[in-house]
Amino acid sequence: METILSGIIQGLKLFFYGDATLWQIIGVSAQVSGIALLISAVIGIPLGALLGLTRFPGRRMIQAMIYTGMGLPPVVVGLAVYLLISNNGLLGPLQQAWIPKLFTVEAMIAAQVIIAAPLVIGYTMSAVGEVSPNLRLQVRSLGATRVQVLGTTLREARRGVLVALIGGFGSILSEVGAVMMVGGNIEGSTRVMTTAILLETRRGNFELAIGLGIVLLGMAFLINLSAAQLQGKGY
């Protein structure tokens, strides 16, 4: 009990006094998950809209794959990426510039994109599906091109799309399996909040672990709060 209490106090102190290590770790987390989310959004929102709105053979199949992808265990994703990019893996030996190296920030981003993109696609897909077909027809009748119909439908479904982004971000910000596996938890470079909490707890360094835990919770809360605010404004 005492450990926990002093841990919390120490954690808060670290946070508010701007402890360098703590903030460096927060920075890496924000960078990795932020970029991964951005990439997932750029891929996932248009793809989700397309899958939700157009009919073509094989669509059900792809949808089933996306839904499966929404529940991928991060550790398994980490393992798969590891096997792909390690030096004696499938892609690693190709030595191409676009293939990230193991134990780098880029590798972690790649793994997190694989986790978040299906979530963004899946939630976007169902969000645009909720927009009434009658409205889409009206939009087309008013002279919209295909792309404009897609854009307008996304705008009408923006709450759902926002949920998609929050869901995606939440899943990667708090995952530990994949970043551990392909990032390696290297101090000062690939150590993120979740892997740091894991390590520091194991070492008995509860202060840093709790401090990071508080930041993680706080970030999640702030994101959801701002999302709620945006929704309230009718955005």
Single out the segment in contact with other proteins by CB under 8 A; choices: 83-91, 132-140, 173-181, 211-219: 132-140
Closest by Cα among 41, 68, 79, 49 to 167:
41
Judged by CB under 8 A, the residue of 18, 57, 71, 143 near other proteins is 143
Q: Which of residues 39-78 bind other proteins (CB under 8 A)?
A: none
What does the alpha-carbon distance between residue 76 and residue 30 come to, in Å, rounded to a whole number?
A: 22
135 lines the binding site for other proteins (CB under 8 A): yes
140 lines the binding site for other proteins (CB under 8 A): yes
Convert residues 148-177 into a mask of x (bound to other proteins by CB under 8 A) and - (unbound).
Answer: x---x--xx---------------------
Single out the segment in contact with other proteins by CB under 8 A; choices: 54-62, 129-137, 171-179, 223-231: 129-137
Encode 201-214: b = buried (16+ Cβ within 10 Å), e = exposed: beeebbbbbbbbbe
What does the alpha-carbon distance between residue 64 and residue 128 come to, in Å, rounded to a whole number?
A: 17
- 88 vs 141 by CB, closer to other proteins: 141
Going by the DSSP 8-state scheme, the letter that residue 104 receives in this structure is S
What does the alpha-carbon distance between residue 119 and residue 168 come to, in Å, rounded to a whole number?
A: 6
137 lines the binding site for other proteins (CB under 8 A): yes
Single out the segment in contact with other proteins by CB under 8 A; choices: 28-36, 48-56, 85-93, 137-145: 137-145
Going by the DSSP 8-state scheme, the letter that residue 90 receives in this structure is S
Residue type, 153: T
- Residues contributing to the site for other proteins (CB under 8 A): 132, 134-135, 137-145, 148, 152, 155-156, 234
